[in-house]
Amino acid sequence: MGVSLTIDEDLNAFSLFNLKTFKQVPFASSVALNNTGFDIRKSFNKGTLSVFDKPTNFTQKAFLTTKSKKNNLVVHVFAKDKQGNDAARYLRFGVKGGARPPKGFERYFAGLPNDGSLSANSYFMPTRQVKRDGKGNITRPTLKKLSGQVTAGTAFIGTPRNSNRPAGIYVREKNNKLIAKFITTNRKPTYTGRFNLQEIGDKVIQRRFNQYFNNAMKKAIATAR
């Protein structure tokens, strides 16, 4: 997921220049592509601040860029997609929209003991009773504590008896009061696409590429032997 920059023009058209100038065109093109690619990456990463609510550092540094060479005038700006560091998986819903798949903690909760009242493909939504970090995310220690309570029997996953409360994860306090930590829904959470990478990339290209190319050509010609 990202954008690609390349030089489609036939560089032989630059043969109208003298030979000294023509030899510098691939180098200047590569420099311009690389600098523009880095600017696009910076714009993408910065754009996460306005598109997503309190994005983590992981999200703010999600995008990378490749570098072109004189004989390979192509640059890719893309979201990390390696296993264990798959930012693309999370960002694609902000870019394209659509229903999100179950999150990691939802798959984990589905494997814990429950009373059998949860329907298939249940989605867990945290309540205000769940502690979060400064970014609004549920911390791993919080999830670990809650799963330990389920295992110990001081919390359960299911539907409270003799109640119209929805299925979820409930903690039983000493006074026998049930506190809902998560409630479930069968409606798939959906996102609206609002992070237009192509549009952002095109604007950067229009503003920066020609400037970078011209500066690189001037420097290359001035230092050419």
Tens of pLDDT, residues 56-67:
777 788 888 999
Q: What is the span of the domain harbouring residue 157? A: 101-188
Q: What is the mean pLDDT of residues 152-174?
A: 90
Note whether 106 and 87 are same-domain residues. Answer: no
Cα 4 to Cα 185: distance, rounded to the nearest angstrom: 39
Note whether 62 and 172 are same-domain residues. Answer: no
Number of compact structural domains in the chain? 2
Burial class (CB in 10 A: 0-12, 13-18, 19+), 168: buried
| pTM of the entire predicted model | 0.61
pLDDT surpasses 90 at 213 = yes
Q: So what's the pLDDT on residue 2?
A: 65
CB count, 10 Å around CB of 199?
A: 9
Q: So what's the pLDDT on residue 101?
A: 66
Higher pLDDT pick, 115 / 54: 115
Position 87 confidence tier, pLDDT thresholds 50, 70, 90? low
Position 175 confidence tier, pLDDT thresholds 50, 70, 90? confident
pLDDT surpasses 60 at 146 = yes
Note whether 92 and 27 are same-domain residues. Answer: yes
Note whether 144 and 63 are same-domain residues. Answer: no
Note whether 8 and 111 are same-domain residues. Answer: no
| % residues pLDDT > 70 (the chain) | 81
Q: So what's the pLDDT on residue 90?
A: 64
Note whether 133 and 206 are same-domain residues. Answer: no
Note whether 86 and 105 are same-domain residues. Answer: no
Q: What is the mean pLDDT of residues 184-208?
A: 83
Note whether 14 and 94 are same-domain residues. Answer: yes
pLDDT surpasses 70 at 15 = no
Q: What is the pLDDT of residues 36-53, one digit of tens each?
A: 999 999 999 888 887 776
